[in-house]
């Protein structure tokens, strides 16, 4: 029975992506349930999370339907190295941003995530890290005035 259902899927990548979007959208609706969506005078703190969750549910539904009705490429094989390194880069950033500052946290995120692809050169990684650190520092710390330390506090 399950095999027959899988055989009817013409584009597994789209169906699985749509199912993931639907799952995350449902999780967002669940987590935002305690937030007020609005009052008589304006929108509440739950309006935007609900809006984005419903948009994500809609896109997920469209992808599932499209994947069932239209033929697409075969599913790609999974590789452990990129998955682990991308998750590690995000974890490094989350752990280090307050302790080490924006410059080191972003540079570490870029270096770890670039290691996920074997074809990325050191020159490309350095250029991406320098550009990201420069733009992020100017935008978030200088222009927006967010209280994010640039460097570690000694």
d(C-alpha 120, C-alpha 58), whole Å? 35
Percent of the chain with pLDDT over 70: 95
The answer to whether 52 and 28 have CB atoms below 8 angstroms apart is: yes
- pLDDT for 7 equals 65
- pLDDT for 1 equals 55
Model pTM score = 0.65
- pLDDT for 6 equals 58
> What tokens does 49 get?
């999370």
- pLDDT for 141 equals 92
Higher pLDDT, 87 or 2: 87
pLDDT digits (tens, 9 = 90+) for 125-137: 999 999 999 999 9
**Residue 39 pLDDT grade (very low, low, confident, very high; cuts 50, 70, 90):** confident
Q: In whole angstroms, how far apart are CA 48 and each of 34, 51, 54, 118?
A: 13, 5, 10, 39
Residue whose token pair is 């639907």:
22
Q: Is the pLDDT of residue 11 over 60?
A: yes
- pLDDT for 136 equals 96
Q: Is the pLDDT of residue 3 over 90?
A: no
**For the chain, what is the mean pLDDT?**
90
């Amino acid at each position: 029975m399950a095999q027959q259902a899988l055989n009817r899927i013409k584009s597994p990548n789209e169906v699985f992506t749509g199912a993931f979007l639907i799952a995350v959208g449902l999780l967002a609706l669940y987590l935002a349930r305690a937030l007020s969506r609005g009052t008589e005078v304006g929108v509440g703190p739950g309006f935007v999370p609900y809006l984005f969750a419903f948009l994500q549910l809609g896109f997920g539904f469209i992808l599932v339907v499209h994947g069932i009705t239209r033929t697409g490429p075969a599913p790609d094989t999974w590789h452990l190295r990129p998955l682990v390194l991308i998750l590690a880069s995000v974890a490094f950033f989350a752990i280090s941003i307050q302790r080490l500052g924006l410059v080191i946290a972003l540079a570490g995120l870029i270096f770890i995530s670039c290691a996920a692809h074997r074809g990325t050169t050191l020159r490309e990684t350095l250029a991406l890290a320098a550009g990201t650190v420069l733009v992020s520092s100017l935008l978030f710390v200088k222009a927006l005035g967010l209280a994010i330390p640039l460097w570690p506090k000694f």
